[in-house]
Amino acid sequence: MIIYLHKILPMLVSPIFIIIFFLVIGFIFKNKVFIIISIIIFLLSSNSIIANNLKYYLEKDYLIREEIIPKNINTVVVLSGFLKSSMINEKIITEWADADRFFSGLNVFIENNLKFIVFTRGVVPWSNAVPEGEYAKKIAVSLGINEDQILLSDISKNTEEEALSIKKILKNDLNIVLVTSAFHMPRAKFIFEKNDFIVHPYPVDFKYNISNITLIDFIPNAGALNSTSNSLRELIGRIYYLIKFEIFKS
């Protein structure tokens, strides 16, 4: 039930939902103010400049990556979120979504001669796809990685469950390299540290774009709207775990 709340609640404060909400209210009560508000929200949330600045805010602490891995680390943890699944010819086909997580984690493991690489078996309950970690393990083995050095977490529906499962696997050796997307790193690092890990962050899959502003950036577009929605979802996730770990401490 919690996983559904995690997915549904961010939708309720997404730009699309808020725009539709104010439009409906405006038409029901025949009030132009609500319609104007919906238009303003649409223009702001679909603006490339605003979307890009939101991405910068999420990634700003990890736009510089420390490539040197401390010698006392034995394990690299690669979080799920780099695969996608589709139904093709009545068969489930798995493809790359953000391949940087997988290949960067593999590079860290090989180049630093680490003892273990951990893939998380991330999955959502309404999906019929193979858990990501299982697919990642097959790919890693096919690339020559020793199967005994590949560890998998339990089935995990979110980052907190991944951290708890990996903690059981690694036991007292909780000094890790953590690989995930740059925008997700602050939340992931926070959650892992709250579960007693010592984290060396290795952010990948950077979304922020460095480019000159042009007239095209002021034209509303679907890509910016989607990016704004994703950024707001990540911000909500950060707020949720901040409240959980800092305000409602067990």
- Superfamily for domain range 66-204: HUPs (3.40.50.620)
pLDDT interval class at 9 (50, 70, 90) = low
Asked if 201 contacts 185 with a C-beta cutoff of 8 angstroms, the reply is yes
pLDDT at 2 over 70: no
Residue 130: its pLDDT value, please? 79
C-beta neighbour count of 230 within 10 angstroms:
18
More confident site: 186 or 157? 186
Residue 71: its pLDDT value, please? 92
pLDDT interval class at 220 (50, 70, 90) = very high
Tens digit of each residue's pLDDT (9 = 90 or more) over 50-64 = 999 999 999 999 998
Tens digit of each residue's pLDDT (9 = 90 or more) over 69-97 = 999 999 999 999 888 877 777 777 788 88
DSSP string, 213-229: --GGGGS--HHHHHHHH
Mean pLDDT of the chain: 90
Q: For the chain, give every domain's residue range.
A: 2-61+222-247, 66-204
Q: Supply the angle between the helices 48-59 and 32-45 in degrees, to the nearest 10.
A: 60
Residue 128: its pLDDT value, please? 65
pTM value?
Answer: 0.90
pLDDT at 1 over 60: no
Asked if 184 contacts 199 with a C-beta cutoff of 8 angstroms, the reply is no
**8, amino acid identity:** I
pLDDT interval class at 144 (50, 70, 90) = very high
Cα–Cα distance list, 211 to 48, 49, 53, 135, 242 (Å): 11, 10, 12, 36, 33
